[in-house]
Chains A and B, each alone.
Chain A
Amino acid sequence: DAGVIQSPRHEVTEMGQEVTLRCKPISGHNSLFWYRQTMMRGLELLIYFNNNVPIDDSGMPEDRFSAKMPNASFSTLKIQPSEPRDSAVYFCASNLIGGGTEAFFGQGTRLTVV
């Protein structure tokens, strides 16, 4: 397996534009996480899905952020409209439900909003 795959690796966009980040979890994994990493706040859990269903989105900063998982092999994180303070590295991770299993991270998407 190629691991967790995220796209794009880098994204530069202007303030106010819509941004969509994509993630393909490891085949067979049934839980998917979205994290945001900044120097100030570290790794923040934004949302996670179990069996494609959002379980906890309390980490989503505000209504400008939304996430979907239409099937077991694909998830998106959308920011609309984007703001400079959204600049960060966004990681997707996946594992098997049940706890006690390693979460595998994708390479991350470095987002810069100018």
Chain B
Amino acid sequence: GENVEQHPSTLSVQEGDSAVIKCTYSDSASNYFPWYKQELGKRPQLIIDIRSNVGEKKDQRIAVTLNKTAKHFSLHITETQPEDSAVYFCAASKSTGNQFYFGTGTSLTVIP
């Protein structure tokens, strides 16, 4: 099956700084890459996603980039705020099969 690796496992940034989380995947057939945010004690929830026919997508302070050739994608959060503190998961999925494989998560702490 798909193997999704995520780095770093923990990340601390000062409020207002940017945060970058990186993921790699192994299955070149994967074509959908969502990012989920999980606050303490809650369920993972989608914050942004990107499909393989797009190289970059932005939604306010959040952006995701995809490099299909290198099989990696990244989450960028700008102007971080304390409420951005959470665990972030990347995932890879493909149309044939529909399985979702998640990275191991990044615990982001934004220091006020």
Contacts and interface: CB of A to CB of B under 8 A. Distances in A.
Interface residues of A, number: 26
Contacts of A58: 1
A36 to B, nearest CB: 11
B93 to A, nearest CB: 5
A42 B102 contact: yes
B25 interface: no
Nearest to B52: A100
A60 to B, nearest CB: 13
Contact of B93 (A42, A43, A100, A106): A100
A102 B34 CA distance: 8
Contacts of B34: 102-103
Closest CB pairs A-B (n = 5): A99-B95, A42-B104, A43-B102, A105-B43, A100-B32
B95 A105 contact: no
A45 to B, nearest CB: 6
